[in-house]
Amino acid sequence: MSSSSSSRAHGGSGSGANRIRVGRYELGRTLGEGTFAKVKFARNVETGENVAIKILDKEKVLKHKMIGQIKREISTMKLIRHPNVIRMFEVMASKTKIYIVLEFVTGGELFDKIASKGRLKEDEARKYFQQLINAVDYCHSRGVFHRDLKPENLLLDSNGNLKVSDFGLSALPQQVREDGLLHTTCGTPNYVAPEVINNKGYDGAKADLWSCGVILFVLMAGFLPFEDSNLMALYKKIHKADFTCPPWFSSNAKKLIKRILDPNPSTRITIAEVIENEWFKKGYQPAVFEQADVSLDDVDAIFNESVNSQNLVVERREERPTTPATMNAFELISKSQGLNLGNLFEKQMGLVKRETRFTSKKPANEIISKIEEAALPLGFDVKKNNYKLKLVGEKTGRKGHLAIATEILEVAPSLYMVELRKSGGDTLEFHKFYKNLSTGLQDIVWKTAEETIEEERSSHGNSAKVVPASSS
């Protein structure tokens, strides 16, 4: 159920109508959405601290008979205090929802670094890999597996330290069967171990390590070890571990990566062996942290069968005049990395973004009507709520109906950022939809001088770039 951005710096509690308060938190904009959850930016009104809140739908959780497992996972996650794992502060519940309050980090995704600077030098890649292995090993020692390690789950804090997000939460919709193995095919196929794709049951620790190996390869190479636009061909490559290390990898790094990306889990290197590996140990600093006393009272309270109504929180709306939400400079900078580098990044990294954005100097109302006008002929139903739109495809796609959430944010007087985020359906269908939509939006998209020149250049080469957004 991993939603794309557990707690990254796309803040902005905004100033739209109806601020929503849950307990002592004021909810802001949506940071990401998954099948089971939504992640929102929020602020603790007592301390002023920024947090990310993951909101689960109780009904879905009950329907999948996941209560016992969720309680276990959440309790364990609350006890985990590790410098390279996103902290879980507290858990609350209302009649219909479960709220998980998480640490909010401001350095963006680790992979944005590769997008802007290209592949990392071996020493820097090793430093992040050491932090990743530290985090993963610590969580495994507590019986928590990630099962969905991929770029979106690797965030950086303001000091440039790695923070793994969605630990323990990514496994919510799945169960461990009686044979003690996990049975679920989840995750981005490029990062997933062959035994997970096989669906024969697998060891969570070995599968997590495989994903760490793919991540190390990408950090040092700038591209994926297994890549194919045909899914079956991609699976074949993963099953045979059919990949080649670029010539700039040192021989010790190549040896280690080959031991990690061993398609046979029983001969694959273990994390304990990785930590003893000569290449890994260079400049290694074990994580330093203290074990604090953590109370699980809040977890017990919300999962108590006869939940006392005093333990429940209520979503309270606070009326305010309706205007588009505003963003401050810090939030804008944290987003702007995505404004221009997207096209280059996705082709190179094989990543498919679930959101895209563009800027416009037209009035907010005009932007809304334009999007509505462009979406209707593409077969989308449009629901409006102040400065937000929900577009839902009439036809069923590969993963159900494609649904897109659109929000308009005021960046400066008369400059708006429009964000489109896939909230349901297939990501590739979202890209196709956006390509079609953007043709109808050309006259409202604001282009910088560079982009206009770039566009003229490329249109002479017959490959017009339509929108300066983070996904084309």
For range 3-13, the mean pLDDT? 42
Q: Is the pLDDT of residue 254 over 70?
A: yes
Question: Which of 32-56 are b and which e, b meaning 16 or more Cβ less than 10 Å from the residue's Cβ?
Answer: bbbebbbbbbbbeeeeeebbbbbbb
Question: Which of 256-286 are b and which e, b meaning 16 or more Cβ less than 10 Å from the residue's Cβ?
Answer: bbebbbbbebeebbebeebeebebbeeeeee
So what's the pLDDT on residue 178? 40
Three-state secondary structure readout of 364-381:
HHHHHHHHHHHHHHHCEE
CA-closest candidate to residue 95, choices 46, 52, 54, 62 = 62
pLDDT in tens, 71-85: 777 887 787 889 999
Banded model confidence at residue 271, pLDDT cuts 50, 70, 90:
very high
Mean pLDDT over each residue of the chain, to the nearest integer:
78
Contact, 334 vs 409, CB < 8 A? no
Provide the sign of the torsion angle of the four alpha carbons 209, 210, 212, 216, taken in this order. positive
Residue 272 is which amino acid?
A
Give CA–CA dist 183/177, Å, rounded: 7
Residue 456, Cβ neighbours under 10 Å: how many?
A: 10
Q: Is the pLDDT of residue 248 over 60?
A: yes
For range 6-17, the mean pLDDT? 44
Question: Which of 134-171 are b and which e, b meaning 16 or more Cβ less than 10 Å from the residue's Cβ?
Answer: bbbbbbbeeebbbbbbbbbbbbbbeeebbbbbbbbbbb
Q: For the chain, what is the radius of gyration of the CA atoms?
A: 22
Query: Is 54 annotated as ligand-binding?
Result: yes
For range 350-370, the mean pLDDT? 77
Give CA–CA dist 344/342, Å, rounded: 6
Banded model confidence at residue 396, pLDDT cuts 50, 70, 90:
confident
CA angle 393, 174, 109 (to 5 degrees): 65
So what's the pLDDT on residue 168? 60
Q: Where are the domains of the chain?
A: 20-286, 324-338+355-448
Q: Which fold has domain 324-338+355-448?
A: TATA-Binding Protein (3.30.310)
Whole-number percent of the chain with pLDDT over 90:
27
Banded model confidence at residue 5, pLDDT cuts 50, 70, 90:
very low
For range 28-41, the mean pLDDT? 79
So what's the pLDDT on residue 321? 57
Per DSSP bridges, beta strands 88-93 and 400-412 are unpaired
- For domain 20-286, the question of CATH label 1.10.510.10 is answered with yes
pTM of the predicted model as reported, rounded to 2 decimal places: 0.65
Backbone angles phi, psi at 112, to 5 degrees: -65, -30
CA-closest candidate to residue 2, choices 112, 167, 183, 155 = 167
Return the active site residues.
148
Q: Name the more confident of 448 and 122.
A: 122
